[in-house]
Amino acid sequence: MSMPFTVGPAHAEALLHQMLRIRRFEERCAELYSAGKIRGFLHLYIGEEAIAVGAMRALCADDAILATYREHGHALARGLPMGEVMAEMYGKAEGSSGGRGGSMHIFDPRYRFFGGNAIVASHLPVAVGIALADQVLKRPAVTVCFFGEGAVAEGEFHEALNLAALWKLPVIFACENNLYAMGTALAYTEAETSIAAKAAAYHMPSEEVDGMDVLAVEAAMRRHVEAARQGGGPRLLEFKTYRFRAHSMFDAQLYRSKAEVQEWMESCPIRRFREALEAEGLLAAGRYDALDAEAVAEVDQAVAFAEAGHWEAVAQLTEGVTTPWSPPATKATQGARVKSSNREALRSALKEAMQADPRVFLMGEDVAHYGGCYAVSKGLLQDFGEDRIRDTPLSESAFVGAGIGAAMNGLRPIVEVMTVNFSMLALDQILNNAATLRHMSGGKLSVPVVIRMAMGAGRQLAAQHSHSLEGWYAHIPGLQVLVPSTLQDARGMLLAALQSPDPVILFEHVQLYNQEGELPEDAGMVDIRHAAVRRSGRDLSLVAWGGSLPKALAAAEQLAAEGIEAEVIDLRVLRPLDTASLLASVRRTRRLVVVDEMWRTGSFSGEIAAIVQEEAFWDLDAPIRRVCTVEVPIPYPKHLEDAALPQVADIVKAARETMARGVQHG
């Protein structure tokens, strides 16, 4: 082992001690797993300690760290209290994540440790967003993102590197290449097995480093961290290493030979460093044993701390999914009414929000120079510049993930996904990161990101651009799902969403962008917790949202001419669902028709029907009816598209049939 820089005895002992702390911690975790104290998956870091220890030595307190499911070593090297890390392994409430994350999800923002991530490569775009926030806020911090070589096969790896290079962000992508993603050798999965070489496509400096040499790791990290800190943009370091234990405790290791493992164990980073220090006279006699004993004693104390900890009460099960929060009170409007379209209402909200809060910015595909696919952001580039109206590549997972990371690190991003169909490419980020991080971190992390999506059919865009998937997202705890149907809601819901401490998805129906009307010039935030009664009635409740609301209102007018007074409920908030308003209306009218542009099977209308059946069955005078999209991919020809979608005539027919059935009140 060479000495790439001058190392004093204190520095040397600190590195050795940290590696011993991690090694003894991991060995004890293996024992505890076998004893049933630690459950789930357990991925040990034994053999790779030099990377976490050397890398952390090169960082400052304000730098950010993200890692994978093998992150215990990174957490300890970063300085997280060992007792809290061990308690998290147990799942105890005293753990780093309150016991909710477990082995694979350790978080502690006090140490700028943004956690382990169990979805391969999912944290790379988040790291880009964290670095973006530091860059925008002019903080001299660097983000270091650790990942395994298996992540390079994921699209998020390439999307994240491209975005980081495009924006010259201070990110270090630190690949811990242990040769086997899980049980498949790199040569079987990659046409180019050099991870460092992949960075060249993004004009990103890179370097291969001996990951079993703690001093080589520290030296490389110091060079690249300083370059990134000085504005040199992102870098990639490929640390060549080897995990001495299985991928996880379930792994039988049938894919590699015992001889190969033994050969790598001869390069044990702790042994190599100890021998080098003794050869250089930097480690006094008996110091190794003393440092090792200290590490063992600390592990003993950590286990005792975890054993003495308590389990979170079952009564707290649903706490921490979202932040306890009351939206700001809506204010009465006093200004003159002005003509507006739906898109103009959205644009005015964007403009007002960015004028009021410098942390707010918009990013997405074609939002800047093109002005947005639906022209919502037209002209904002000239008003706010490229830093706050950011065009992104066509890489939904990367820029949605970046929005999540930026939100976690102090900004208020508005992310525009051109159409809900494209959001499937970012579902990992929305479901596994945005929606779960607060709960999984024990309430330590918040993700105040607003994601806008165009949705719906009716414009002859055929099957791949015509979906209504808001019900899918409403299924996910941790999200707020809003569907504005009026001009005032389009403007006011966006303004209110930007006050939320949790992720909000705003669905904008394509058929409503051109909707015109009058809007108070001082229209502000609207209520984003309750449904709205758009038309009062006594005979039945028509429940709709988004593009279906105008159809429901038109149907109500037709029904009124026949003597049937329908109450029209604009659901508008799908999560958290306002069940009280829904049930109150049904109990008044005793009949319910739900209009939903999703397909009937698995639709949100089915959820509404189930709630009413469970809570108000004896108040109903007739079966619940649903008017949904025909179960066929949306056709291109106009007559077939119209036939597939709920129309006014379909709503009227369902209402008449509902009135004709069941109990009649005189």
Instruction: Cite the active site residues.
Output: 396, 465
**Degrees to nearest 5, angle at CA 459 with 453 and 463:** 75
**What's the burial of 399, exposed, middle or buried (CB within 10 Å: 0-12/13-18/19+)?**
buried
Comparing CA positions, the residue from 93, 57, 59, 74 lying closest to residue 444 is: 93
**Cβ-contact 398, 123 below 8 angstroms:** no
**CA-closest candidate to residue 498, choices 543, 454, 451, 457:** 451
- Distance, in Å, from the CA atom of 13 to the CA atom of 284, rounded to the nearest integer, reads 10
H/E stretch holding 363 reads: strand 360-364
Q: How far apart are CA 648 and CA 557, in angstroms?
A: 10
Answer for the pair 623, 662: CB distance below 8 angstroms, yes or no: yes
Instruction: Enter the tokens of residue 315.
Output: 């009564």
Q: How many residues in the chain?
A: 666
- Write out the H or E segment, with its range, that includes residue 341: strand 337-341
**Using CB atoms within 10 A of its CB, is residue 138 exposed (0-12), middle (13-18) or buried (19+)?**
exposed
**What's 511's DSSP letter?**
G
Helix crossing, 342-356 with 487-497: angle to 10°?
30
**Residues facing 64 on adjacent strands:** 143
Are 165 and 233 within 8 A, CB to CB?
yes
Q: Exposure string (b/e) for 317-327, b if CB count within 10 Å is 16 or more? A: eeebbbeeeee
CB atoms within 10 A of CB 532: 20
Task: Dihedral sign for Cα 198, 200, 202, 206, please.
Answer: positive
Asked if omega into 576 is within 30° of 0 (cis), the reply is yes
Edge to edge, what strands does the sheet with 113-117 contain?
113-117, 64-68, 143-148, 171-177, 235-240, 206-210
Count of CB atoms within 10 A of residue 188's CB? 10
Burial tier of 68 (Cβ tally within 10 Å: 0-12, 13-18, 19+) = buried
What is the rounded (10 degree) CA torsion for 209, 211, 212, 218?
80
Nearest CA to 594 among 623, 621, 619, 615? 623
The Cα–Cα gap between 447 and 129 comes to 12
Q: What angle do CA 552, 553, 559 make, to 5 degrees?
A: 85
Residue showing tokens 């005078």:
621
